[in-house]
């Protein structure tokens, strides 16, 4: 269970998530410091660990629109944030899957700052409001990649299974 720490509107771009001016820094161990860099208060609280792993950010429609930079997904993953949005831009969603970031698609989500949120199976439960919302699950093949920890880990697991027989 996590607390809602930020609510975004529609069409949040990858440049808002991970500004292009930081593209010289691409290592997943270094990118988190620039997560939402232009949202100064959010960035400061993430970097100071005031918002711990498991904290929830809410997005509207088309979260992650814009460029194909995978750092937008890795920077979120680096903070252990839970992202719940109405839907996601296609390339951002695939980058997140490839990196093992489980994005929650919940078209009817209702939440306010500070609400306690629990993700349970195919439901998002807003404990504060006492409401449940259905999620749109990932297809099984994509979920298998996320559960393995990303595409590299998934592929490694498949190759090892094939050659260890």
Distance CA 146, CA 2 (A): 20
Q: How confident is the model at residue 66 (pLDDT cuts 50, 70, 90)?
A: very high
Q: How confident is the model at residue 163 (pLDDT cuts 50, 70, 90)?
A: confident
Write down the pTM of the prediction. Answer: 0.93
Res 28: pLDDT: 84
Indicate left, alpha or beta for 11 from its phi (over 0: left) and psi (-120 to 50: alpha): left
Q: How confident is the model at residue 67 (pLDDT cuts 50, 70, 90)?
A: confident
In whole numbers, what is the pLDDT of the chain averaged over residues?
A: 95
Residue 131's alpha-carbon distances to 111, 116, 136, in angstroms, are 10, 11, 17
Q: How confident is the model at residue 42 (pLDDT cuts 50, 70, 90)?
A: very high
3-class secondary structure, 111: coil
Distance CA 81, CA 55 (A): 5
The encoded tokens of residue 165 equal: 């027989």
pLDDT at 98 over 90: yes
Is residue 110 within 8 A of residue 133, CB to CB? The reply is yes
pLDDT at 73 over 80: yes
Q: Which residues contact 67 (CB under 8 A, 6 or more apart)?
A: 13, 14, 15, 20
Parse the chain into domains and list their residue ranges: 2-163
pLDDT at 162 over 90: no
The encoded tokens of residue 12 equal: 């949040």
2-163: CATH topology is Aconitase; domain 4 (3.20.19)
Give the residue among 101, 92, 46 at the shortest CA–CA distance from 69.
92
Helices (H), 10-139: 14-17, 40-47, 71-79, 90-99
Q: Which residues contact 1 (CB under 8 A, 6 or more apart)?
A: 54, 116, 117, 118, 127
Q: What is the mean pLDDT of residues 25-48?
A: 94
Q: How confident is the model at residue 61 (pLDDT cuts 50, 70, 90)?
A: very high
Q: What is the mean pLDDT of residues 109-113?
A: 97
């Amino acid at each position: 269970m996590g607390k809602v720490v930020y609510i975004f509107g529609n069409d949040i771009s990858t440049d808002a998530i991970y500004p292009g001016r930081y593209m010289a820094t691409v290592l997943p161990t270094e990118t988190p410091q620039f997560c939402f860099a232009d949202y100064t208060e959010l960035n400061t609280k993430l970097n100071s660990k005031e918002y711990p792993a498991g904290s929830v950010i809410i997005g509207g429609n088309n979260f992650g629109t814009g460029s194909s930079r995978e750092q937008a997904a890795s920077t979120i993953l680096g903070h252990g944030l839970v992202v719940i949005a109405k839907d996601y831009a296609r390339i951002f969603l695939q980058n997140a899957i490839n990196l093992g970031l489980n994005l929650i698609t919940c078209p009817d989500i209702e939440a306010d700052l500070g609400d306690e949120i629990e993700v349970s199976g195919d439901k998002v439960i807003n404990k504060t409001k006492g409401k449940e919302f259905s999620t749109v699950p990932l297809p099984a093949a994509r979920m298998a990649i996320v559960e393995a920890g990303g595409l590299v880990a998934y592929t490694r697991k498949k190759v090892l299974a094939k050659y260890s027989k």
